[in-house]
Amino acid sequence: MKNVILTGFMATGKSAVGRVLAQRLGYKFIDTDNLIAEQAKKSIAQIFQDEGEAHFRCLETELLRQLENAQGLVIATGGGMILPEENFRRLKKLGPVICLTASPEVILARAKRGQTKRPLLNTPDPLEKITQLLEKRKPFYRLADFTVDTSGNNPAEAADSIFTYLKGA
């Protein structure tokens, strides 16, 4: 297993779970949003504001191209990275794709608590937006090899069930 990919909607715990999983596997943890922000020298929110979502999506694909020969990584992806077909193909080549899920209410509560600014949820009715986006993205998240609901889980528990899945895969 070259790498492990974590996908799933915003605030489903990809970074928190990814860090624990990386430690258990002896892999290095990376977060695609962080790498994109580092390369662009500005936050994701600022990229959305200055250049728009379409440009951000190009940066996501570009980063995946750069990661083509990556090994020994747990890769937490931005929640929309898996949507374009090219990205999905590239992610699958890198390793098993694990999807984290959570209920819209839990997602909203975590998004409110967290430090990360999420431009897509910057709307008058974020719960409605979450529900809409989840519905639209369901067919893409379903393509993952394994899915874990993190609504009632702490990161260590979710990492444990992924670890168990990976051992048997």
* Residues that bind ligand S3P in the complex, under the rule CB under 6 A: 10, 14, 33, 44, 78-80, 116, 118-120
Cβ atoms 10, 118 nearer than 8 A: yes
Q: Which is nearer to ligand S3P, 28 or 129 (CB)?
A: 129
Instruction: Kindly tell me the sign of the dihedral angle through the C-alpha atoms of 39, 66, 148, 163.
Output: negative
Question: Minimum Å distance from CB 45 to ligand S3P?
Answer: 7
Closest to ligand S3P by CB, 9 or 26: 9
Q: How far is CA 21 from CA 37, 85, 109, in A?
A: 23, 26, 23
Place of tokens 């048997």: 168
**In the complex, minimum distance from the CB of residue 120 to ligand S3P, in angstroms, rounded to a whole number:** 5
| CA-wise closest residue to 106 among 152, 160, 139, 147 | 152
As measured in angstroms, the least distance from the Cβ of 133 to ligand S3P is: 7
Closer by beta carbon to ligand S3P, 142 or else 167: 142
CB nearer ligand S3P, residue 90 or residue 118: 118
